[in-house]
A and B are shown apart, each in its own frame.
Chain A
């Protein structure tokens, strides 16, 4: 029934040919056909092995995606490499309390089951790089989820393109990817240079600096690998996570280098792989203030929802919230979310931090997040968040205006209902 396709421009090895011919089952054959047809569109003429995969097709977007996953699972598809799963569209244990629609939850659960039947691990997190499923330096991987790809490439030095829905599982089923893009050393060279210009160290030490820096990169570079020179601190994993997430949501950045920080950029010269270094664009305080302003779209002086955890909050971030929330309570009617992985939530419940966070009036949501599951109550107008990614998706996807603030300011706003944002650190 399919159109006849020849793969004359591809170098296929015996294993790939036997996959195409169906010797490893119909699901593998289907995945191999899809990838063999896609390879030329990526400019690839051969495939390379990957050692792990991360699947974003797990977000329920409609019947076609569900039918695709169930078809592959029914055909007996089994992933060939360790495969983690991104956030799904429901909290598996708490969906009723969170007010999720039963028929939506049924579809979300069916989609999750289809991928688990294929051998994927039910991690359900968008920060797999902070779990035991993280890749290591130089590892070739087939990851999806824009923030995870940016983090894996940039901070860890693993190698992945951004594999969207349908492609991610196809790569996992054959354990190979077209040899193209960021899998190849020459495409990982810096293309644009930015230099921090008199940015005070006390700002560089703050968590709220990193989403703004990331947003700036995403806004400034539509297609390329930005290099940032001039950081005078060594950022923490959570700070690099928020930078990567903001860069990948405001633009299409899948790889950046921070000179002296990230592993492929010990020096400026190495960030550009010895090629001529372009003239630097300066990042001034004024430019950062302008970008920071873009993350706040709300003009109202009132907050309805406060959210933490995009990408999923780490254990460290949750412990900080537990400390800030301990003994205090959010204002009546305020919705407060912490979105995280089930693994982190489990630890929090055992060490007592979960009780402190929940006593504040917070819903600690696992497996999903407020950008892929409709958890924000209808009628809510203003979201305050410390996440550049939530702030970015507020107006378009979540359907609220955004206010960007520090973690402390967000907790405070949940108590008072007002966004008291102090910008003195940005001057």
Chain B
């Protein structure tokens, strides 16, 4: 699932089921669990790290996150998941031009090297 609108996990995502609950966000109502979330950055409150960590603990986190800006808040949530639970949610930063190539509904893979591969274009193309 891809969006060009930043999303704050704190107040924007319910860690119980991974659903987007930010009423002003275009992905409202979709669930991020197990999918690759493509967004510009997290932004917002520091408490967002805790929400991402909580969702990793609950098994409702995205399978991976792709951003185009360095985001310590998302980074911290993912690092906590790895260090404390041994669950890796890769967070990849791409250059904006590459990041823009990914569209909502595309099927993509993140390799362990950090390489992002487009497997199949989504229906919106």
Q: Which B-chain residue is minimally distant from A163 (CB atoms)? A: B46
Give Cα distance in the complex from A15 to B80, angstroms. 23
Output the least CB separation between B62 and chain A (Å). 16
Q: 8 Å CB contacts to B: which residues of A159-207? A: 162-167
| A182 and B83 alpha carbons, distance in the complex (Å) | 27
A71 at the interface (CB under 8 A from B): yes
Query: Is A378 part of the contact surface with B, judged by Cβ < 8 Å?
Result: no
Interface segment among A59-67, A212-220, A400-408: the answer is A59-67
* A104 within 8 Å of B (CB atoms): no
Contact of B76 among A38, A64, A162 (CB under 8 A): A38
Q: Which of A2, A30, A64, A144 contacts B86 (CB 8 A)?
A: A2
A30 and chain B: residue at smallest CB distance:
B83
Distance between Cα atoms of A395 and B16 in the complex (Å): 23
Interface string of B51-71 (1 = CB under 8 A from A): 001100100000000000011
Q: For chain A, give the interface size range.
A: 20 to 34
Query: Using Cβ atoms and an 8 Å threshold, which residues of chain B touch A163?
Result: 46
* Chain B residues, Cβ within 8 Å of A162: 46
Contacts known (A37-B79, A38-B75, A41-B75); A166 close to B86, Cβ less than 8 A = no
Contact of A164 among B11, B76, B82, B86 (CB under 8 A): B76
Interfacial residues of chain B within 95-118, with CB under 8 A of chain A in the complex: none
CB neighbours of A37 from chain B (8 A): 75, 79, 83
Q: A38-B79, A164-B49, A165-B49 are in contact. Are A63 and B84 (CB under 8 A)?
A: no
Cα distance A376–B46 in the bound complex, in angstroms: 25
B88 contacts chain A at the CB level, 8 A cutoff: yes
Are A166 and B72 closer than 8 Å at their CB atoms?
Answer: no
Instruction: Give the docked Cα–Cα distance between A419 and B47 (Å).
Output: 34
A-B CB pair tally, cutoff 8 Å: 68
Interface check B15, CB cutoff 8 A: yes
Name the residue of chain A whose CB is nearest to the CB of B80: A166
A166 to B50, CA, bound (A): 8
The yes or no answer to A33 lying at the interface (CB within 8 A) is yes
List of A residues within 8 angstroms of B33 by Cβ = none
Q: Which A residues lie within 8 Å of B11 (CB)?
A: 396
| Cα(A164)–Cα(B45), bound, Å | 9
Is A68 in the interface zone, CB < 8 Å from B? yes
Q: Given the complex, which residues of B lie within 8 Å of A42, measured CB to CB?
A: 72
Give Cα A144–Cα B86 distance, bound, in whole angstroms.
Answer: 27
Q: Which residues of B contact A166 (CB under 8 A)?
A: 49-50, 53, 76, 80
The answer to whether residues A41 and B46 also contact, given A33-B83, A166-B53 and a CB cut-off of 8 A, is no
Give the contacting residue for A64; candidates B45, B57, B88; CB below 8 A.
B57
B residues within 8 A CB of A332? none
Let me know if A3 is at the binding interface, CB within 8 A.
Answer: yes
Please state if B54 and A64 are interface contacts (CB–CB under 8 Å).
Answer: yes
* Contact of A1 with B by CB under 8 A: yes
Cβ–Cβ < 8 Å partners of A68 in chain B: 53, 80, 84
Q: Is A34 engaged at the interface, CB distance under 8 Å to the other chain?
A: yes
* Contact, CB under 8 Å: A164 / B83: no
CB 8 Å contact bits of A137-166 with B (1 = contact, 0 = none): 000000010000000000000000011111
Check B49 against A71 for contact (C-beta < 8 Å): no
| B88 close to A3 (CB less than 8 A) | yes
Kindly state whether residue B39 has any CB partner on chain A within 8 Å: no
Residues from chain B with Cβ under 8 Å of A2 in the complex: 82-83, 86
Interface contact A71-B84, CB-CB below 8 Å: yes
Contacts of A34 on B, CB cut-off 8 Å? 76, 79-80, 83
Report chain A residues within 8 Å CB of B46: 144, 162-165, 167
Q: Known interface pairs A41-B70, A164-B76. Does A64 touch B50 (Cβ–Cβ under 8 Å)?
A: yes
> From residue B24, how far is it (CB to closest CB) to chain A in Å?
13
Q: Which residues on the A side are within 8 Å of B83 (C-beta)? A: 2, 30, 33-34, 37
Interface contact A61-B47, CB-CB below 8 Å: yes
Which of A34, A63, A144, A165: most chain B CB closer than 10 A? Answer: A165
Contact indicator B72/A38 (Cβ below 8 Å): yes
Q: How distant is the Cα of A2 from the Cα of B11 in the complex, in angstroms?
A: 29
Chain B, Cβ-Cβ closest to A57? B50
Q: Which A8-42 residues have C-beta < 8 A from chain B?
A: 30, 33-34, 37-38, 41-42
Q: Which residues of A contact B76 (CB under 8 A)?
A: 34, 38, 41, 164, 166-167
B86 to chain A, nearest CB (A): 4
Contacts of A71 in B (CB 8 A): 84
Q: In angstroms, how far is the closest chain A Cβ from the Cβ of B7?
A: 17
Add 17 more A-B contacts to A38-B76, A62-B54 (CB < 8 A).
Answer: A2-B82, A2-B86, A33-B83, A34-B79, A34-B83, A37-B75, A38-B75, A61-B47, A63-B57, A67-B84, A164-B46, A164-B49, A164-B73, A165-B46, A165-B49, A167-B46, A396-B11
B residues near A, CB below 8 A? 11, 15, 45-47, 49-50, 53-54, 57, 70-73, 75-76, 79-80, 82-84, 86, 88
Q: Name 9 A/B residue pairs within 8 A (Cβ), A-sorted.
A: A3-B88, A41-B70, A41-B75, A61-B47, A62-B15, A65-B54, A165-B49, A165-B50, A166-B50
By Cβ-Cβ distance, the 7 closest A-B pairs, closest first, are: A164-B46, A1-B86, A64-B54, A41-B72, A41-B75, A37-B79, A64-B57
